[in-house]
Amino acid sequence: MPVKTLLKQVKSGKITIEEAYAKLKNLPYEDLGFAKVDHHRAMRKGFPEVIYCQGKTPSQVAAIARKIKKHGHPVLATRADEEHFKALKKVFKASRYYKQAKIITVSSCKERSRPFLTILIITAGTADIPVAEEAAVTLEFLGHKTERLFDVGVAGLHRLLKNLKKLQEASVIITVAGMEGALPSVIGGLVEAPVIAVPTSVGYGASFKGLSALLTMMNSCAPGVAVVNIDNGFGAAVMANAILK
């Protein structure tokens, strides 16, 4: 349960001080042995702790999710597979699995009060879509309005320029690209909005699993371009959320 809600309940007399203390005693984090669940994350960041599933067993993910939900927070689990989803579905019937994004959600955060702000998520190619979807689903979980524009890379620049009005109306742009990673620089030179560049591991041998795209983006000649790590759609979404807040 969020601390502010708890305090309001104490003030109104719905719960006693002793009951409130019992709920607060596991804050700021709860030690599960294999994990320490950060229940104060929502107070600091504006959204609860997110579960990174890769490397965790399905039962561990379910246990962490159970504790997060018990404190009144929605659940977002990234890099999840079908086994993680099955474990969560047993605990929470409302669990939803976004297979392409590899994300599981149990409910979502409250919608933002500024629906006129749009985050545009762009990919250079179709192979970059899974990383883009990780960003999109995360942002929608956080209550933001998103639009998608896929497969408009520099190999066919006319595809991008046809959507110039959409680019220039966006509040924040997340650009996802592999290969040589040139797309964010092109977009950065066309728009006023901040551009978050996400290099992907898509590409042939000399792309070095995304390192080539990463270095290209970090050396962008266009101002206003920020770069997150390779394949880190989640990180791009959190940065976009911070910018709009």
Digitized pLDDT (tens) for each residue of the chain, 245 residues in all: 567 777 888 888 888 888 877 766 666 777 788 888 888 787 777 788 899 999 999 999 999 999 988 888 889 999 999 999 999 999 998 899 999 999 999 987 766 656 678 899 999 999 999 999 999 999 999 989 899 999 999 989 999 999 999 999 999 999 999 999 999 999 999 999 999 999 999 999 999 999 999 999 999 999 989 999 999 999 999 999 999 88
How far, in Å, CA of 197 to CA of 213, rounded?
A: 10
How far, in Å, CA of 180 to CA of 202, rounded?
A: 9
What CATH number is associated with residue 175?
A: 3.40.50.1970
Same domain, 194 and 168: yes
Same domain, 100 and 123: no
Identity of the residue numbered 232 = N
Same domain, 129 and 200: yes
- DSSP class of 127: G
Q: Which domain holds residue 51?
A: 3-106
CB of 199 closer than 8 Å to CB of 217: yes
How far, in Å, CA of 94 to CA of 211, rounded?
A: 38
The pLDDT value recorded for residue 112 is 60
Same domain, 70 and 126: no
Same domain, 130 and 229: yes
Any domain includes 44: yes
Number of independent structural domains in the chain: 2
Instruction: Taking each helix axis as running N to C, give the angle between helix 58-70 and helix 82-91, from 0 to 180 degrees, rounded to the nearest 10.
Output: 40
Identity of the residue numbered 219 = N
Interval 7-37: pLDDT, tens:
888 888 888 888 877 766 666 777 788 888 8
Any domain includes 49: yes
Same domain, 96 and 34: yes
Interval 134-168: pLDDT, tens:
999 999 999 898 999 999 999 899 999 999 999 99
Among 63, 82, 106, the domain boundary falls at 106
pTM (whole model) above 0.85: no
Same domain, 158 and 210: yes
Same domain, 147 and 236: yes
